[in-house]
Amino acid sequence: MIKYMEIKSSKRSEFIDITGHIQNLIDKEISTGDGICYLYVPHTTAALTINEGADPSVKRDIVTTLTELIPHVANYQHMEGNSDAHIKASLFGSSEVLLIENGRLALGTWQAVYFCEFDGPRERKLAIKIMEG
Per-residue confidence (pLDDT) for residue 72, from 0 to 100 = 94
Q: What are phi and psi of 58, to 5 degrees?
A: -65, -50
Domain ranges of the chain: 2-132
pTM, entire model: 0.95
Pick the CATH number of 2-132 from 3.40.50.620, 3.50.50.60, 3.90.700.10, 2.60.120.460: 2.60.120.460
Per-residue confidence (pLDDT) for residue 108, from 0 to 100 = 96
Question: How many Å apart are CA 34 and CA 15, to the nearest integer?
Answer: 28
Per-residue confidence (pLDDT) for residue 131, from 0 to 100 = 94
Rounded to whole angstroms, what are the CA distances from 66 to 49, 72, 106? 14, 10, 28
Question: How many Å apart are CA 57 and CA 48, to the nearest integer?
Answer: 18
Question: How many Å apart are CA 129 and CA 18, to the nearest integer?
Answer: 15
> Prior bond to 71 cis, omega within 30?
no
- pLDDT in single tens digits along all 133 residues of the chain: 899 999 999 999 999 999 999 999 999 988 789 999 999 999 999 999 999 999 999 999 999 999 999 999 999 999 999 999 999 999 999 999 999 999 999 999 999 999 999 999 999 999 999 999 8
